[in-house]
Structure 1
């Protein structure tokens, strides 16, 4: 279940960093914090996938997020 949390946290950080990067480019400034968050998200996703590569695929990502949310709600 730990790798599920890593995958979910990485995906959420990555999703939230994309609009921040686009806003930085639109304002003609360097989106350094958003890029750092995106790199962190990629590292966390890679860590989760490396720890259990046979369990995860791109198609499995929504199921992983739902499992984590269900586990949090039922705890």
Structure 2
């Protein structure tokens, strides 16, 4: 479950990196924060994929997100 969490958090951070890059480019500034987010998110995804090489594919991403969100919600007690 830990590597699934790394994978999901990494994907979310990568999405934020893309949004930060678009915002920085539209403002005419250097995308510094987005490059840091890209390194962090990419690192988390690489760690998860290297630990479980055949566990993640395009078709299993929704299932992984669902399992991580269900685990998080059960941790919160709802």
TM-score by length of structure 1 reads: 0.93
Runs of at least 5 residues in structure 2 that lack an aligned partner in the other structure: none
Aligned pair count? Answer: 75
Give, in angstroms, the shift of residue 39 of structure 1. 1.8
- Higher RCO (C-alpha 8 Å, min separation 6): 1
C-alpha RMSD over aligned residues: 0.9
- State the 4+ residue runs in structure 1 displaced beyond 6 angstroms: none
Match of 1:10 in 2: 10
Give, in angstroms, the shift of residue 31 of structure 1. 0.8
